[in-house]
Amino acid sequence: MKRLALLVLLIASAGSLPAQSGGLRLEDVLQSVTDQYPPLLAALRDRVIADGDLTIAEGKFDLNVKGGFEGDYLTYYRNDLYRLGVEQPLEFQGMSLQGGYGLGRGSFATYDGKLQTDSAGEYKMGLKMPLLRDRGIDARRADLRKAWLGRRIADLGVAQQRLAIIQLATRRYYDWVAVGIRYRITREVLLAAEQRDKQLKEAAGLGQIPQIDVTDNQRAILTRRALWIEAQRGLEAASIELSLFWRNQKGEPVLPQPDQLPPSFPAAVEVGENRLLEDIERALLLRPDAKRIEVQKGQLDIDRRLARNQKLPGLDFSVNYTRESGERLVRRGTDELAATLTFDLPLQRRAAKGRESVATAKWEQLDLRERFTRDQIVAEVRDAHSALRAAYQKSKVLLEELAVARELEAAERVRFELGEGTLFLVNLREQATFDTALREVAATNEYFRARAQYEFALGEKMEEN
């Protein structure tokens, strides 16, 4: 009987091996994703591309310098012409400023008298301003505004990909934790059977128990060893999957080791029904996919405005001031102020009408997609909320079932110690506890996977809400 009491103590101690403290945290993995995960780093290049497009659009407002020389030596009028000019387009009202310098030397025909200057040349400055077409918007300003919105679209695209990547990394992390806990549980029950084997053999040798109990325990050892090998392979596979997200400073995948496993899952937190409506509103405001379509509609709205602008008649006003300098060689005055008003209008304006029609149709397409995307977001939040609540309740029930299974296992051991039970029944109770423990781990993992999906549906971490 003393040997049986010792056996019971060994079994009980083997069933609760001490868990390791600390371990690899989810925050560490997500920080590694942010710093080193290649697909996310590749997505960040979209921002660089958008910045380049913005620089190209801004370049259309660069100061433009033009110059030239023209000489005429074989005709009766021999002369040299030198020209240097600058033009600065402005964003305000589509205006542009011009300035320049010209020098004409030699003799000029009467009809080319405007080309002749005083000895030190002439200086010019002017202003051009559209009065109808191109006043509210023109191609240059449209490209610039669309480039600014394109930069915002790139940011939202990166945010969307980051959400998806973080959700996947979070799931892989909790899969690894779940497999690690499964590995520990399987190893513990195997050790319990192995430690029991020696004691059973001694008890059978003394005639205290039948030999069949020894054989039955050896069967349990082989069964549990096969499960342990399977769990070991599962842990290795989960570690390899997680290594794609867990990287060193060089960006190389790092295999997390078994001793980095946390001792257990974090505590599950119930999500109340009363926060659903608030979360739906926040998701509609925060989700990058909905906001991205909204910004794309803004780009198409610019296209529509530009097309409508092109349907207007062109009416441009310009004013130019010229001042001659040096020895007087020309008959016109030293100062000259000229104002010009020009008008043009393509009668059919088919190109502008076609562009407006295309832009309007595309805007309506995006408007319908935006409405459906918002409906999808609402459905995703509701479904993720339902899945999270169900996963929490299932995990809670299985925790209670596991406590009952352990209580029954302990009671069966006591009966075995008192000689009222059999090792077969002890094995059955241990197997029931083992199966329940694995189902509890799977349910808890399901909860955290559902939590990751819920955070993806919200567009933010639950702790930030």
Separation of alpha carbons 452 and 448, rounded Å: 6
Q: Which domain holds residue 374?
A: 267-311+350-465
Q: How many CB atoms lie within 10 A of CB 290?
A: 20
Mean pLDDT of the chain: 88
Q: Can you give the C-alpha Rg of the chain in angstroms?
A: 40
Give mean pLDDT, residues 2-9: 33
Give mean pLDDT, residues 312-323: 92
Count of structural domains, the chain: 1
Q: How many CB atoms lie within 10 A of CB 406?
A: 18
Instruction: Identify the pLDDT of residue 395.
Output: 94
pLDDT digits (tens, 9 = 90+) for 258-296: 999 998 999 988 888 888 999 999 999 989 999 999 999
- Judge whether residue 126 has pLDDT over 50: yes
- Judge whether residue 461 has pLDDT over 50: yes
Residue 457 domain-assigned? yes
Instruction: Identify the pLDDT of residue 463.
Output: 56
Instruction: Identify the pLDDT of residue 165.
Output: 94
Residue 279 domain-assigned? yes
CATH number at residue 408: 1.20.1600.10
Identify the bridge partners of residue 323 per DSSP, sorted by sequence position. Answer: 123, 335
- Judge whether residue 3 has pLDDT over 60: no
Answer yes or no: are the C-beta atoms of 265 and 444 closer than 8 Å.
yes
Of the pLDDT bands very low, low, confident and very high (cuts 50, 70, 90), residue 239 is very high
- Judge whether residue 15 has pLDDT over 50: no
Q: How many CB atoms lie within 10 A of CB 92?
A: 7
Separation of alpha carbons 15 and 196, rounded Å: 11
Separation of alpha carbons 143 and 302, rounded Å: 9
Nearest to residue 44, comparing CAs of 200, 212, 125, 157? 157
Give mean pLDDT, residues 176-205: 89
Following DSSP, what letter does each residue of 19-36 receive, concatenated? PPSS---HHHHHHHHHHH
Give mean pLDDT, residues 200-209: 79
Separation of alpha carbons 267 and 396, rounded Å: 11
pLDDT digits (tens, 9 = 90+) for 387-434: 999 999 999 999 999 999 999 988 988 887 777 777 788 888 888 999
Following DSSP, what letter does each residue of 399-427 receive, concatenated? HHHHHHHHHHHHHHHHHHHTTSS-HHHHH
Residue whose tokens read 């690690």: 180
Residue whose tokens read 């005429």: 72
For residue 68, which amino acid is it?
Answer: G
Separation of alpha carbons 421 and 120, rounded Å: 121
Residue 418 domain-assigned? yes
Residue 302 domain-assigned? yes
Instruction: Identify the pLDDT of residue 436.
Output: 94
Separation of alpha carbons 243 and 239, rounded Å: 6
- Judge whether residue 209 has pLDDT over 80: no
Residue 178 domain-assigned? no
Residue 277 domain-assigned? yes
Instruction: Identify the pLDDT of residue 5.
Output: 36
Strands 64-72, 335-344: parallel, antiparallel or unpaired by DSSP? unpaired
Phi, psi of 116 (to 5 degrees): -80, 140
DSSP 8-state class, residue 253:
B
Q: How many CB atoms lie within 10 A of CB 2?
A: 6
Residue whose tokens read 């999270």: 388
Identify the bridge partners of residue 343 per DSSP, sorted by sequence position. Answer: 315
Give mean pLDDT, residues 79-100: 93
Separation of alpha carbons 38 and 11, rounded Å: 48
Give mean pLDDT, residues 291-306: 94
Residue 392 domain-assigned? yes
Separation of alpha carbons 431 and 415, rounded Å: 17
Q: How many CB atoms lie within 10 A of CB 440?
A: 24
